[in-house]
């Protein structure tokens, strides 16, 4: 077993007789009851992460969950019940949020390329706030509002002129399709302020994802406050909202360390303490909208070892699911270097690792490699394999239709009680009756 997997088992899940527990239930029991491959989620881990985040943030912060990380209904309902807002980036996510029972006023709509149809749907259903990403969008929202007789709460997403990196600022933000360049912010601000159908709420900044260094986050927030201050000096009134986006990371590989929330808490307390009585931020609500940080650690992908073979001296474990369900673990979702996710044989946690193997899925493509040269206990066909850190950007960011395998079900486990929240989906109905041609006589 890789070190990170073992530390996650200890820190978040626990084990019994060498077998992983998820929400107090043996992983093997879940696999038997619901079949493999599947995704399992432990409610307590969602709670731990949200509590830790809220503890690290200064008082005036509100947390929204970013739906694109994982739009599973159970997860949305959970965050809604914990008094989080939801950040969406499509009309589809808006429907999912409403279906989960979210008050539309608690939904923020961000993301480039919002279509007229999408904007109409959210505006006629009382969306809380839309984050404008271009001049076109500002005009479009204004037009739709006039047609619907509505007024929209809008914030402007700013693409900062300099990017926070490590301890230092790297000057010169890069070209990006996200947000409005800080250099042209005045132009869009003017448009918004002049349009009576638009109610200007504030700004939104979000520049990076998977950040594990608190210094980078704090620099981003500090810079965001600077941008906000300049906007306040233009408008002459405090902002209702400053949204710092998501981007808080979780460790995926053995060389990565968890985001130090104690350090983050101290640094944020200092930065936000300075502006405590600043009139520019009187009544301002600050916001973060993480996806990965809140959902990533709570989910595990379970699959079974379906075949084991040796090719020219290399041992391959072939699972019953692969990149079609978990593109990120195969290294094909944006990684430049392929590294192994934290993974383990879940029924052999107490067995010493002694074999170096490659782990692959069942797809007919060399892309479907989940691990290269991972050291695991000696595997047998039928062993239960688990990939950790699979609650965010795993199932939701995978090509589920590729090769037409069944889509993996999702199981929610809450303190010993497991519930099927998404059923397995097949790409075919009844097989056509070809019995006359059957080879089984």
Ligand X SMILES: *Cc1c(COP(=O)(O)O)cnc(C)c1O
* Minimum distance, C-beta of residue 97 to ligand X, in the bound complex (Å): 14
The yes or no reply on residue 377 touching ligand X (CB under 6 A) is no
Closest CA to 210 of 144, 292, 108: 292
Contact pick of 43, 114, 223, 292 for ligand X (by CB under 6 A)? 292
Q: Take residue 216 and report the two structure tokens written for it.
A: 């980078």
Four-point Cα dihedral 44, 127, 156, 66, nearest 10: 20
Query: Do residues 19 and 349 make contact, with C-beta atoms less than 8 angstroms apart?
Result: yes
Tell how strand 129-132 and strand 107-109 pair up.
parallel
* Minimum distance, C-beta of residue 72 to ligand X, in the bound complex (Å): 15
* Minimum distance, C-beta of residue 65 to ligand X, in the bound complex (Å): 9
* Helices marked H in 160-213: 185-194
Could you count the other beta carbons within 10 Å of the beta carbon of residue 176?
A: 11
The yes or no reply on residue 290 touching ligand X (CB under 6 A) is yes
Closer Cβ to ligand X, 159 or 347, answer by number: 159
Contact pick of 36, 66, 70, 134 for ligand X (by CB under 6 A)? 66
How far apart, in whole angstroms, are the C-alpha atoms of residue 13 and residue 96? Answer: 28
* Minimum distance, C-beta of residue 66 to ligand X, in the bound complex (Å): 3
Q: Take residue 86 and report the two structure tokens written for it.
A: 């939801």
The yes or no reply on residue 69 touching ligand X (CB under 6 A) is yes
Q: Which stretch binds ligand X (CB under 6 A): 5-13, 115-123, 213-221, 290-298?
A: 290-298
The yes or no reply on residue 129 touching ligand X (CB under 6 A) is no
Contact pick of 42, 118, 289, 368 for ligand X (by CB under 6 A)? 289
Read out DSSP for 187-250? Answer: HHHHHHHH-TTEEEEEEEE---SSB--HHHHHHHHHHHHHHHHHHHHHHSS--SEEE----B--
Closer Cβ to ligand X, 159 or 407, answer by number: 159
Tell how strand 19-22 and strand 15-16 pair up.
antiparallel
The yes or no reply on residue 291 touching ligand X (CB under 6 A) is yes
* Minimum distance, C-beta of residue 30 to ligand X, in the bound complex (Å): 26
DSSP 432: P
Query: Do residues 221 and 268 make contact, with C-beta atoms less than 8 angstroms apart?
Result: yes
Closer Cβ to ligand X, 227 or 345, answer by number: 227
Closer Cβ to ligand X, 71 or 111, answer by number: 111
Q: Take residue 119 and report the two structure tokens written for it.
A: 């904007």
DSSP 23: T
Using CB under 6 A, count the residues that bind ligand X: 18
Closer Cβ to ligand X, 243 or 418, answer by number: 243
Q: Which stretch binds ligand X (CB under 6 A): 27-35, 291-299, 349-357, 394-402?
A: 291-299
Contact pick of 53, 89, 225, 267 for ligand X (by CB under 6 A)? 89
Reply yes or no: is the peptide bond before residue 4 cis, omega within 30 of 0: no
The yes or no reply on residue 87 touching ligand X (CB under 6 A) is yes
What is the footprint of ligand X within residues 187-206 (CB under 6 A)?
Answer: 206
Could you count the other beta carbons within 10 Å of the beta carbon of residue 162?
A: 15
Closer Cβ to ligand X, 13 or 293, answer by number: 293
Place of tokens 């926070």: 164
What is the footprint of ligand X within residues 227-256 (CB under 6 A)?
Answer: 245-248
Q: Which residues bind ligand X (CB under 6 A)?
A: 66, 68-69, 87, 89, 110-111, 206, 209, 245-248, 289-293
């Amino acid at each position: 077993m890789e070190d990170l997997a073992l530390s996650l088992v200890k820190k978040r899940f626990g084990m019994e007789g060498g077998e992983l527990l998820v929400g107090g239930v043996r992983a093997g029991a879940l696999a038997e009851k619901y079949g493999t491959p599947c995704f399992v989620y432990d409610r307590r881990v969602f709670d731990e992460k949200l509590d830790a985040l809220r503890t690290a943030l200064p008082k005036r912060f509100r947390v929204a969950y970013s739906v694109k990380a994982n739009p599973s209904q159970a997860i949305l309902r959970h965050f809604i019940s914990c008094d989080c807002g939801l950040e969406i980036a499509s009309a589809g996510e808006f429907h999912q949020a409403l279906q989960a029972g979210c008050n539309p006023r608690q939904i923020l709509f961000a993301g480039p390329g919002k279509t007229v149809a999408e904007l109409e749907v959210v505006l006629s259903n009382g969306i809380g706030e839309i984050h404008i990403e271009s001049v076109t969008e500002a005009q479009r929202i204004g037009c739709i509002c006039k047609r619907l007789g509505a007024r929209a709460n809008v914030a402007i997403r700013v693409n900062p002129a300099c990017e926070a990196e490590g301890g230092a600022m790297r000057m010169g933000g890069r070209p990006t399709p996200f947000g409005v360049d800080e250099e042209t912010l005045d132009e869009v601000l003017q448009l918004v302020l002049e349009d009576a159908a638009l109610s200007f709420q504030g700004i939104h900044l979000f520049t990076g994802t998977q950040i594990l260094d608190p210094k980078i986050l704090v620099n981003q927030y500090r810079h965001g406050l600077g941008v906000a201050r300049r906007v306040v000096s233009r408008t002459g009134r405090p902002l209702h909202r400053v949204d710092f986006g998501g981007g808080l990371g979780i460790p995926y590989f053995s060389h990565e360390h968890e985001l130090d929330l104690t350090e983050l808490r101290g640094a944020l307390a200092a930065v936000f303490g300075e502006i405590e009585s600043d009139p520019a931020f009187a009544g301002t609500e600050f916001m973060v909208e993480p996806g990965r940080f809140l959902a990533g650690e709570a989910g595990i992908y379970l699959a079974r070892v379906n075949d084991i073979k040796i090719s020219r001296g290399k041992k391959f474990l072939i699972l019953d699911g692969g990149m079609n369900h978990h593109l990120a673990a195969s290294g094909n979702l944006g990684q430049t270097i392929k590294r192994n996710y934290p993974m383990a044989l879940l029924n052999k946690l107490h067995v010493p690792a002694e074999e170096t193997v490659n782990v692959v899925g069942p797809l007919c493509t060399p892309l479907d490699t989940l691990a290269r040269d991972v050291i695991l206990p000696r595997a047998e066909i039928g062993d239960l394999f688990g990939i950790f850190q699979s609650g965010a950007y795993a199932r939701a960011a995978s090509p589920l239709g590729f090769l037409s395998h069944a889509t993996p079900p999702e199981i929610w486990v809450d303190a010993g009680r497991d519930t099927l929240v998404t059923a397995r989906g097949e790409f075919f109905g009844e097989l056509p009756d070809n019995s006359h041609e059957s080879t089984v006589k």
